[in-house]
Structure 1
Amino acid sequence: MQTHELVAHAAHSPLGIRRVEAKILSMTDAWMRVRWRIDGSEKLVIPAFAGKGRQDDLWQTTCFELFIMPRDGTPGYSEFNLSPSERWAAYDFDDYREGMRQRDFAREPDCSIRSGQSITIFDAALPRVQLPGPPCSIGLAAVLEEEGGVKSYWALSHHKEKPDFHDPACFNACLARTRAA
């Protein structure tokens, strides 16, 4: 599957991060696997392990986000927040930032993070049965906090003065129907 280079919002420059990529690794009947790669992550703040569980406001520190909008002509979409702490959140929206409600998840996502000298890899596996099905438009994003509270906001694209991962114009990657592996 295609690797997508994310761009930092111009109003929030990173301290040392040079590049962020995101990729849907695989889609099976059971799981959707997603990976984010951060280059220049020496000063990245990684939230402490908290164990699996739902938690709001994960975006206030390092957090990885996936947005899925089915291509059925309706404006609704789903948001998934995934933290290196293993906490997660899932929401459904009826329209742009309207009608927000928690998305039910019977089986929690699996998350892992590995850091090397200057590269960090964050992997997430989300249960397929609990995700909107393809074909979909997707948005891949990350809030990355570095030492000193410096936050940068990374997405496929930015179209507003302030970072806004919910902007449908940012959902510019495609998730097509594929045969299950």
Structure 2
Amino acid sequence: MWEGDVLPEREEQSVFLEWLDSHSGSVLKVARAYTLTHEECQDLAQEILMQAWRSLPGFEGRARPSTWFYRVALQTAMNWKRNDQKRRRWQKPLLELEAVGPEGLNGEVRAEHRETVERLYAAIHRLPKADTALVLLYLEALSYREMAEVLGLSESHVGVKLNRAKKALRVLMEGDGDEA
């Protein structure tokens, strides 16, 4: 679809909206993993989308759109600073966080699922930032090759780091369960 050609602005907007529709869940997951509050999550999600829009003209088609979107999201999240709150105050969210939980579950099971997901995100948030990125990509069911492409690592290095991150996450989750 894209081979280094410059797209007219209208087509850029169309491509961006299409990719946003396909990858908004990933943006929110990344934002949630790198923030503590709902407001921070919304701010970071908006920052990711702004960076993706700004970066779109530089997309050369060497990576798939999903890989490119993840790379922008993770890079923005890892570099994100809270020092430009003035600009963020007037922005209206393009994405809204939705209640977590599969459809069709009864209230009690849904609440239990939501609690588990909240504990998972709390544990992910305590991981080193590079491990957070790996775990998010793993949760999105990306292959080792895709993870390596997004993070600029070798596939074998992804495997080693992911194994360590999963062990650390398991310890954190077990620790949270003991506190409850």
The two structures share one fold, judged by TM-score above 0.5? no
TM-score (structure 1 length as normaliser): 0.23
Select the structure with the greater relative contact order (CA < 8 A; seq sep ≥ 6).
Answer: 1
Tell me which protein shows more helix as a share of its residues: 2
Q: TM-score with structure 2 length normalisation?
A: 0.23
